[in-house]
Structure 1
């Protein structure tokens, strides 16, 4: 395996490439929103480790206690993202990143590592079949197709917050919960806002801007969640086709 890795720090955050959206010169609003979000998370023990190159090769995780997800458990780490895309696939980078996270958990005396999964792999969730190769197993599950995967190091397991099991919101309108953990969030919000304005479709946006709000969310969440007619729909970011499909229901 070739290539060196670097971890983001408060000192290098402003100058380092953030992997997801490849840009050369012009600042990207979503990347800058992500950078601002990270500036507060890094001091909480959040880890963003990436290939030291302009490529989509990285892992992002945090102590579960301060991870912005409605997952509960003692002493775990939570993986938001693990991605290796394009020409960098097949070089062992994914394995190296996962092994780094597990070694970090052991070094910190953590009980294990967990991540969001699904009965059917979702486009915006990291590859759960890859995680299972490292001993991740289903620790909790919902009746609507999502799972919590965990690699326990001491026999304990995390769990979804109780309200996640019965996902409902008041109101019939399209309802979107989001934070800025992912740099694609901003453009997805703007797409939904623009389309709903053009079509006269009622929509409500709920920015998740605190740990307390994240832990109290009414459904599974990695950085985005959609409801329609009071019913949970998806954690996938919406393109125009997906939004139209939901609104036809």
Structure 2
């Protein structure tokens, strides 16, 4: 039997969130649950799907005006995350249907979601295409914006100033929020790799929607690492991978300066 549970402050206190639930004492898990408690006040929905009492998936979504994705989508809901334990059983569709139903009941124009084939940190595009979402916009680094509209309405869209956003950061800079529990691990890996190379890292905490829309160098919004005016990543990397990417950038700029 499938059962949908919508988290609130009380249920979160009792059962916790789905994300990183295998490590409930980790800082990332603690940060995520605190973030959820704050976002419930803004209308965020965090819905778990249970089959015979066992958790088999979840979906997280909120109004665009308070979302963690860098997208202009007035009067739409934005899906942050969708995850299921097993594909092909209709779990994802059931969770998407719950989101669409809430959006209709709220009088929204529809629902949007951000996808990217390069990382598992965003939901898979295919499940949304099967549920009548259409790709409406694209951004650098293989980001795509999909929309499910209920009626004729303005199209959601990405900003277009991505180059300028990245180029402003010369120092190694991590821009982050705690919408995802893996941000803490991703940050630690960067700091360790940077320390090994003798590089000082700066961390910018995104505290509100205005900062997100102004500072994030990618549409994903919750984690980015930039160095010498170039994006290194928008998702978690191993310490080895971070060190390798940093070293390549350092060497590249040394060669460029020598030629100059």
Q: TM-score, length-normalised on structure 2?
A: 0.85
2:113 maps to which of 112, 115, 118: 115
CA distance in 2, matches of 1:50, 1:189: 27
1:212 maps to which of 210, 213, 220: 210
Q: Deviations over 1:5-28 (max 9, x none)?
A: 21111222211231121338x622
SS at match of 1:78: strand
CA contact (8 A) 1:8 1:16 kept: no
Residue in 1 aligned with 2:123? 126
Residue in 2 aligned with 1:59? 59
Residue in 2 aligned with 1:141? 138
CA contact (8 A) 2:71 2:157 kept: yes
SS at match of 2:185: helix
- Mapping of residues 98-247 of structure 1, within 5 Å: 98-118=96-116, 120-156=117-153, 157-164=155-162, 166-217=164-215, 218-247=217-246
Residue in 2 aligned with 1:9? 8
Aligned pair count reads 244
The Cα shift of 1:56 comes to 5.6
CA distance in 2, matches of 1:190, 1:164: 25
CA contact (8 A) 2:76 2:108 kept: yes
The 10-residue stretch of structure 1 (226-235 or 128-137) with the greater mean CA deviation from structure 2 = 226-235
CA contact (8 A) 2:193 2:243 kept: no
- Which 4+ residue blocks in structure 1 deviate beyond 6 angstroms? none
Provide the aligned C-alpha RMSD in A.
Answer: 2.1
Bigger proportion of residues as helix: 2
CA distance in 1, matches of 2:175, 2:223: 6
CA radius of gyration, larger in: 2
CA distance in 2, matches of 1:111, 1:148: 15
CA distance in 2, matches of 1:70, 1:103: 24
Q: Deviations over 1:96-149 (max 9, x none)?
A: 10111111111111101111123x342211101111111222222124422211
Q: Name stretches of at least 5 consecutive residues in structure 2 with no aligned partner.
A: 250-260
